[in-house]
Chains A and B, each alone.
Chain A
């Protein structure tokens, strides 16, 4: 199942868990320095190793299709923008993906719904082992997997958890946590990872250190911090709800009302209202919305995915905002 099916563990606070492994193949310069022949050879080697995966040639799909993969967190924004030969390999349920010729030759990724770091790590390792058995990785006993950016040396692993933290944000408690996270070798980023801003109170928490610590230790440390944040977020939500229940109900239900009846909604407004809707659903304030549709709604209302699904990619902003409002209305109306 895709990560946004919203069926994973702790899904009131955790949207998804992702493990990414950066790998490079021996005897080739890193992807940005590769010539076309080198890039093609690496693509062929990876396709051969993962012959049951669907191959998507990124140079043959439209910018909107590429952007939709970014919105689904299947590829990075940099991969979508790359001009050199690069392909995406995807498994059937789209939980596992390999970006071939991103800044590293291979970015192996496994993304699962809810808190499932161990499962994501196991899936990423399985792909890693399959590729490892048919190519020689660039690796040093001393500094581990060799990567284009020295910040990924060592394990080459970035484990991250996408979290919905409205209560910790509003009470500014998250600021205190952010500085503590840094000391633990963890980083707090926006919804789309590096360089992105938090929208809809959605954040990514990931490890920043990849050397001198095993993958298992990294995951266990991250999981322990995430569990503390989950507990703190839930407790703070309860407090907020108890302190001024009526005002909170009014705010969340108004947002739900706008989402169900607006004629036009921009993606910025949607994200703001979505956060209220999600919080309302999980607090039981908005009982008539099934929580299983929330992840799908979040991804489906994003610009590229919205237009692609509706098969109308050539529309202006106004038409798109109308389309979004209509899509949301459809998702939230009782069946």
Chain B
């Protein structure tokens, strides 16, 4: 695999970061990795992500760092307890099985913060209206489809205003 930075040399250093659920992957050659400070142990990059220096050039390494508390795979959970709320996103893959083991499932139902509940209710309503619109178009009920389309527009406009 070629280095994603210079696109010339073979990538030997692999870096993965997860910020608020958005995963970015870097596959770098030794030269580019050094220029980013990954292999020196003291750089702006390390400071930014509070990440200890990675040594051992040429060895495939992949790290996830929590953007809120700076924990990595080795210390985001201690005595069975998670460091911060963002760790649940950053280490979702690692936590999936333990959560399933504890609760028997990984799917919350029940109360939700009011703001999110409103958004979710609106999304459910939009999904339902879109389904109705499809059905109406397939049945060639164009007058009905136009009414549903207007309802969808109203709902979407409301969402934007909010």
Give the interface of A toward B (CB within 8 A): 24, 26-30, 32-33, 103, 125, 128-129, 132-133, 136-146, 148-151, 153-155, 157, 209-215
Contacts and interface: CB of A to CB of B under 8 A. Distances in A.
A141 B124 CA distance: 13
12 contacts: A26-B85, A125-B111, A132-B113, A142-B106, A145-B111, A150-B95, A154-B110, A210-B103, A211-B102, A211-B103, A212-B107, A214-B111
Nearest to B89: A140
Contact of B113 (A136, A154, A157): A136
Contacts of B112: 139, 141, 144
Interface in B73-102: 80-85, 88-89, 95, 98-99, 102
Contacts of A212: 103-105, 107-109
A150 B98 contact: yes
Interface of B: 68-69, 80-85, 88-89, 95, 98-99, 102-116, 120
Contacts of B114: 129, 132-133
B85 A211 contact: no
B113 A137 contact: yes
Contact of B110 (A32, A103, A148, A155): A155
Contacts of B69: 29, 33
A151 B102 CA distance: 6
A132 B114 CA distance: 7
A212 B83 CA distance: 23
A269 B122 CA distance: 60
Nearest to A133: B114
A215 B110 contact: yes
A146 B115 CA distance: 16
A203 to B, nearest CB: 23
The 7 closest A-B pairs by CB, nearest first: A144-B108, A138-B85, A211-B103, A29-B84, A212-B105, A146-B85, A214-B110
Nearest to B107: A212
A314 to B, nearest CB: 36
A322 B99 CA distance: 50
Given A33-B84, A149-B81, A144 B99 contact: no
A210 B89 CA distance: 19
B91 to A, nearest CB: 11
Q: Which of A137, A150, A151 has the most CB of B within 10 A?
A: A150
B98 to A, nearest CB: 6
Nearest to A148: B81
A143 B89 CA distance: 10
A33 B68 CA distance: 11
A143 to B, nearest CB: 5
Nearest to A149: B81
Contact of A149 (B68, B80, B108, B116): B80
A144 B110 CA distance: 8
B106 to A, nearest CB: 6
A143 B88 contact: yes
Contacts of B99: 143, 150, 153, 211
A24 B111 contact: no
Contact of A140 (B88, B102, B109): B88
A32 B88 CA distance: 16
B81 A140 contact: no
A267 to B, nearest CB: 31
A26 B103 CA distance: 23
A298 B109 CA distance: 38
Q: Which of A136, A143, A157, A210 has the most CB of B within 10 A?
A: A143
A151 B113 CA distance: 20
Q: Which of A26, A136, A211 has the most CB of B within 10 A?
A: A211
B82 A142 contact: no
Given A30-B85, A209-B104, A211-B104, 5 more contacts: A28-B85, A133-B114, A142-B108, A149-B80, A211-B106
Contact of A155 (B88, B89, B108, B113): B108
